Amino acid sequence: MRFAFSEEQEMLRDMIHAALQREVGLDKVRRWVDGEDLSPFDAFLVRNAWLGIGVAEDAGGQGGGLIEQALMFEALGRSAAPSGVLLASVGTLGFASRVPGAAEQLRGLLEGDATGALCVSAGLPADQGVSQVQINGERLSGVVPMVLEAPGASHLLVPIPADEGLELWLLQADAPGVEIQPRRLIDRTRRFGDVHLQDAQARYLGRLPRDAAREVNAIMALLIAAESLGAARRMLDMTVEYVGQRVQFGVPVGSFQAVKHAAAEILVDLEAAHSGIYYAAWALSEGQADGVPQAWIAKAFTTEAAVRTADRALMLHGAIGYTWEHDLQLFYKRAKLNQELLGSPRTYRERLAESLELH
C-alpha cells in the first residue's frame, strides 16, 4: 500500500505548473473574463499536447492515466485557467473510445483539427444522455440547453438513451439545422451554449453500454473535483498571505484565533478532499469496484468544500475581496460553478444512497 505520487507524476505536475505560470497569469484570465477570445488558450493546449494526457499512446495520446489528468486539473484550478475544452474532450473521447471504431472519427481532436463538445446539459450527469433529442432516420431534432464548450466546437457528440445504454451520434457543428446560442455563466472562463437541432444530419457511431457511460462520467466528476481542489488551495494561500499583512487593532488580523480557526478548517477540508480524489483516481484506473462511487464522493465533497473555502476566504478578505479588481472572484466563481457542473452534490449523494441499498 502506497499513497504517493511517482517521480514522473511529480515532474509532470511541476512542468504543468511552470507552463501555466508562464502562459496564464491572472491578468490574462481577466482579459478572458472581459471578453477576449479564448481560442489562443485552446491552441496552447494543443501545442503542449495536454489534451492527450491520460489518453493511451496507441490512441494518439501522451499516455499516463487518471492520476496525471487529476494533477493537471488541480493545476488548472490553481491558475483559474480555462479548462472547459479539456473537460469536454475527456467526455467526448471517453465516450467514443469505449465504442469500437468510434474513436477514429474523433482523432482530430487531439491534433487540434477538431474540437468536440459532449452534447448534454452541463448541469446533469453526462451518463444520463439527452432524452429530448428525437431521431428520424439519420437526422436529429431537439434542444439541449447549456452545453459545455458548444460555442467554438467543430463537432458535437450526442448521446441518446437506448436500451440500458447510450446511442452515440456525431454532428458537425456547422451542418445545416445546427444552431448554437452562447450562454454566459458567472464563471466566464468556460463557454456554454444552447444547442438547437432541426433535422440536422448526424452519423451513428454505435452504442455505449451503461457501465462504460458511468465510468466516463465518474472520470469527469473526479476531474472537476481535482480542479475545485486546486482553486480552493489557491484561495487558502491568498487568504493566509492577506491576513498576515492586513493590520487592524495594531496587529496582523491573522494573529486572531477566529481567523486562524477559519483557515485551519479550510485545510481540514482540503486534505480530506486530496485523499479522496487521488484514491478515486487510482481506484478508477485500476478498475476497482469502488472507483465510480469514490469519484461521486470526491465530486460531492470537494466541490462543496471548495465553496465553503470560497466563502471563508471572502469573509477573511473583508470588503476588498468583494471587489471586481480583486482576484479572489476568479476562483470564487469557479468553485461555485463547479458545484453544479455535471450534477450537484445532491445528485451524487442520491446515487450513492442507491448503491448503499437504502430502502
Partner 1 sequence: MDFRDAPEDATFRERVRAWLEREVPALGQAPDRLEERVEWWRPWQRRLHDAGYAGLAWPREYGGRGASVLQQAIFYEECDRAGAPDRLDVISAGFAGPTLIEHGSNAQKNRFLDRILTGEDLWCQLFSEPGAGSDLASLTTRAVRDGDGWRIHGQKVWTSAAQVAEYAILLARTGEGERHRGISFFILPMRQSGVEVRPLRQMLGGAEFNEVFLDGAYVPDELLVGPLGGGWKVAMSTLGYERAAIATGRVNTLRLLDELIALVNNTKGTDGRALGQDAFIRQKVAELYGRMTLQRITGKRILSTLAEGGAPGPEASTAKLFITPLVEEICDFALSLIGIEGQEEPGDADPARARWLRLAYQARGTSIAGGTTFIQRNILAERVLGMKRD
List residues binding partner 1 (CB under 8 A).
Answer: 1-5, 67, 236, 240, 243-244, 251-252, 254-257, 259-261, 263-265, 267-268, 271-276, 278-279, 281-283, 290, 294, 296-297, 300-301, 346, 349-350, 352-353, 356-359
Sequence-separated (6 or more) residues with CB below 8 Å from residue 26 = 79, 80, 327, 330
Stated as kind and residue range, the H or E segment containing 118 is strand 116-118
With respect to partner 1, which residue has the nearer C-beta, 49 or 352?
Answer: 352
Closest approach of Cβ 87 to partner 1, in Å? 22
With respect to partner 1, which residue has the nearer C-beta, 194 or 265?
Answer: 265
DSSP label at residue 157: E
Closest approach of Cβ 109 to partner 1, in Å? 28
Closest approach of Cβ 119 to partner 1, in Å? 29
3-state secondary structure of 333: helix
Closest approach of Cβ 315 to partner 1, in Å? 16
Closest approach of Cβ 254 to partner 1, in Å? 5
3-state secondary structure of 184: coil
Of the candidates 33, 16, 22, 18, which has an alpha carbon nearest to the alpha carbon of residue 326? 33
Cell reading at 338: 463547479
With respect to partner 1, which residue has the nearer C-beta, 319 or 356?
Answer: 356
Q: Kindly report the backbone phi and psi dihedral angles of residue 201, in degrees, each rounded to the nearest multiple of 5, phi listed first.
A: -70, 125
With respect to partner 1, which residue has the nearer C-beta, 56 or 263?
Answer: 263
With respect to partner 1, which residue has the nearer C-beta, 198 or 275?
Answer: 275
Provide DSSP, 185-238.
-SSTTS-EEEEEEEEEEEEEEEEEEHHHHHHHHHHHHHHHHHHHHHHHHHHHHH
Please answer whether residues 262 and 313 qualify as being in contact, where contact means their C-beta atoms are separated by less than 8 angstroms: no
Alpha-carbon span 161 to 166, nearest angstrom: 4
With respect to partner 1, which residue has the nearer C-beta, 45 or 259?
Answer: 259
With respect to partner 1, which residue has the nearer C-beta, 28 or 349?
Answer: 349
With respect to partner 1, which residue has the nearer C-beta, 33 or 267?
Answer: 267
Closest approach of Cβ 329 to partner 1, in Å? 23
Closest approach of Cβ 86 to partner 1, in Å? 21
Closest approach of Cβ 290 to partner 1, in Å? 8
- 247-248 and 155-162 beta bridge pairing: unpaired
3-state secondary structure of 148: strand
Hey, which residues does 196 pair with through a beta bridge? Answer: 143, 179
Cell reading at 327: 482576484
Q: Kindly report the backbone phi and psi dihedral angles of residue 145, in degrees, each rounded to the nearest multiple of 5, phi listed first.
A: -80, 150
